[in-house]
Amino acid sequence: MQQSYGSIVRRQQQLIRCLVGDYCSKDTLHLVNKGIRMQSVMGGGGPLEVEALSILRSISPVLDSTKHKGQAGKIAVIGGCREYTGAPYFAAISALKIGADLSHVFCTRDAAPVIKGYSPELIVHPLLEESYNVRDEDKTSISKKVLDEVDKWMERFDCLVIGPGLGRDPFLLDCVSDIMRHARRSNVPMVIDGDGLFLVTNSIDLVKGYPLAVLTPNVNEYKRLVNKVLDCEVNEQDGPQQLLSLAKSIGGVTILRKGKSDYISDGKAVKSVSIYGSPRRCGGQGDILSGSVAVFVGWGRELVSKVKMDENPTMLGCIAGSALVRKAASVAFQDNKRSTLTTDIIQCLGTSFEALCPVGSKSHV
Ligand SMILES: NC(=O)C1=CN([C@@H]2O[C@H](COP(=O)(O)OP(=O)(O)OC[C@H]3O[C@@H](n4cnc5c(N)ncnc54)[C@H](OP(=O)(O)O)[C@@H]3O)[C@@H](O)[C@H]2O)[C@@H](O)CC1
Ligand SMILES: Nc1ncnc2c1ncn2[C@@H]1O[C@H](COP(=O)(O)OP(=O)(O)OP(=O)(O)O)[C@@H](O)[C@H]1O
Ligand SMILES: [Mg+2]
């Protein structure tokens, strides 16, 4: 990405203004509250509320003619099995819709033709196998083949999304564990969602101490993580503190706890994003979020490494992804009300992004 030093410094200053301390300034709070009053149908803000829109604008790259394909992001979703084909599609297409250049899906052989049929934009690898399709004596050679194939691509990816529609077949989850170990060795960020969280909750070492891991649990997945890692029940009274302890206990991974407000922590700070949102809870919205966060984490990483700033790119990516998906959900709900579906929200990603961060805007430096 070629940008002037001045523009990079301005983006850095913007970010620092948004992120100073765990608690935002009165001015920030005022702005956020104003935004909620004007634009939100849900949410409440509070002392942990972060100025998410400024972060989103700061980490989104400029579009210009100097770029070549791939520079805005290459994402891979590891998910999709006989049972679930929608979830990996939602995650992968969302990544493209918000600006990634290439979006791959690594799924089972059964799921691949279906996912390809949804969209010609996606690059679909029919690589994974479930136990019912594999003889015991072939398991070792098939695992090796899966790993070799994924490895060919691994270092080209800016972020992996592990888990949407993956299913819970033990053989398949073993293969995915190997993929995660390789990704970690190659320093590739990972957003873990859906059945990826089922895997990680039972094998926490896969992500423990890996700062480029992002977990995006929904209410059930969060409960299972808290039970397993902290050995207690979810404490709603002291939610942010418990989230902080959880992220810390897993060695500083970033956790985005989805809900009425999204709470995000890397074990050092806790932030919340409450702006916008929709009261429709149709399945698949978390999948949009995982694909979106993957793109923003890639962009956040690029910005942070360029300007050598002391911000956590996974926190920035979660905040930006949360704000955009909540905005798109609110726009889709305005148009579709009770019949709002995940595909409607995906259709609103582009216009919502443009409303929050216009391609030619001054603040979009
Ligand atoms: N259109 C699509 O393709 C979509 C597909 N989706 C995909 O669905 C997958 C599961 O995600 P989800 O969000 O339903 O999980 P969650 O809320 O923990 O579970 C709810 C309840 O179900 C149960 N349960 C779940 N999976 C089970 C299994 N394999 N085998 C047995 N039990 C299972 C679970 O039971 P528990 O584990 O709590 O005992 C809980 O009671 C995931 O891959 C996601 O990406 C979604 O993204 C939506 C759109
Ligand atoms: N009560 C709520 N009010 C407003 N927004 C919410 C609420 N709960 C979740 N969300 C938003 O919906 C999105 C998806 O969260 P959700 O908890 O539905 O994920 P999920 O259960 O993993 O979804 P999926 O069906 O894709 O697996 C997130 O962006 C989150 O901010
Ligand atoms: Mg989910």
Which ligand is closest to the CA of 87, given by its number?
Answer: 1
> What gap in Å lies between CA 60 and CA 302, rounded to an integer?
10
Of 77, 83, 84, best ligand 1 pocket probe by most atoms within 8 Å of the beta carbon: 84
- Ligand 2 nearest atom to the CA of residue 283, by list position: 25
Residue 195 in contact with ligand 1 by CB distance below 6 A:
yes
Residue 85 in contact with ligand 2 by CB distance below 6 A:
no
- Cα distances (angstroms) measured from residue 267 to each of 14, 131, 180, 244, 336: 23, 37, 21, 5, 38
Q: What is the dihedral of CA 359, 362, 364, 365, to 10 degrees?
A: 120
- Tell me, what's the pLDDT at 199? 98
Residues with CB under 5 A from ligand 3 (ion): 194, 286
Which residues have CB under 8 Å from 231's CB, separation 6+? none
- Consecutive 10-residue runs of the chain (365 residues): their mean pLDDT? 55 55 33 34 70 96 91 97 98 98 97 98 97 93 93 94 98 97 97 98 98 98 98 97 98 98 98 97 98 98 90 98 98 98 98 95 49
Amino acid identity, position 125: H
Of 285, 293, 319, 348, best ligand 2 pocket probe by most atoms within 8 Å of the beta carbon: 285
- Cα distances (angstroms) measured from residue 290 to each of 28, 171, 180, 296: 27, 24, 16, 10
- Tell me, what's the pLDDT at 344? 98
Task: List, as one string, the DSSP characters of 118-187.
Answer: H-TTSEEEEEE--GGGS-GGGHHHHHHHHHHHHHHHHTT-SEEEE-TT----HHHHHHHHHHHHHHHHTT
What is the CATH architecture of 5-364? 3-Layer(aba) Sandwich (3.40)
Residue 286 in contact with ligand 2 by CB distance below 6 A:
yes
Q: Would you state the structure tokens that stand for residue 235, as one six-digit string?
A: 């404490």
Of 40, 49, 214, 218, best ligand 2 pocket probe by most atoms within 8 Å of the beta carbon: 218
Cα-to-chain-centroid distance, residue 203: 20
Of the candidates 311, 284, 248, the residue with the CA atom closest to the CA atom of residue 50? 311
- Tell me, what's the pLDDT at 24? 32
Reading across the β-sheet that carries 254-257, which strands appear in turn?
123-128, 102-108, 74-78, 159-162, 190-192, 213-215, 254-257, 262-265, 270-273
Q: Whose CA is nearest to atom 20 of ligand 2?
A: 286
Whole-structure pTM value: 0.89
Of 166, 224, 281, 333, best ligand 2 pocket probe by most atoms within 8 Å of the beta carbon: 281
Residue 351 in contact with ligand 1 by CB distance below 6 A:
no
- Ligand 1 nearest atom to the CA of residue 84, by list position: 3
Residue 249 in contact with ligand 1 by CB distance below 6 A:
no
Token pair 């896969």: residue:
206
Amino acid identity, position 324: L
> What gap in Å lies between CA 171 and CA 245, rounded to an integer?
32
Residue 284 in contact with ligand 2 by CB distance below 6 A:
yes
- Tell me, what's the pLDDT at 346? 98
The domain limits of the chain are 5-364
Q: What ipTM was assigned to the predicted interfaces of this complex?
A: 0.90
Q: Would you state the structure tokens that stand for residue 25, as one six-digit string?
A: 């300034």
Q: Whose CA is nearest to atom 2 of ligand 2?
A: 260
> What is the whole-number distance in angstroms between the Cα of residue 112 and the centre of ligand 1?
20
Which ligand is closest to the CA of 162, given by its number?
Answer: 1
73: left (phi over 0), alpha (psi -120 to 50) or beta: left
> What is the whole-number distance in angstroms between the Cα of residue 79 and the centre of ligand 2?
19
Q: Would you state the structure tokens that stand for residue 341, as one six-digit string?
A: 């579906």
- Tell me, what's the pLDDT at 364? 41
Residue 312 in contact with ligand 2 by CB distance below 6 A:
no
- Show the DSSP H helices in 82-126 as ranges: 86-98, 111-118
Q: Whose CA is nearest to atom 15 of ligand 2?
A: 286
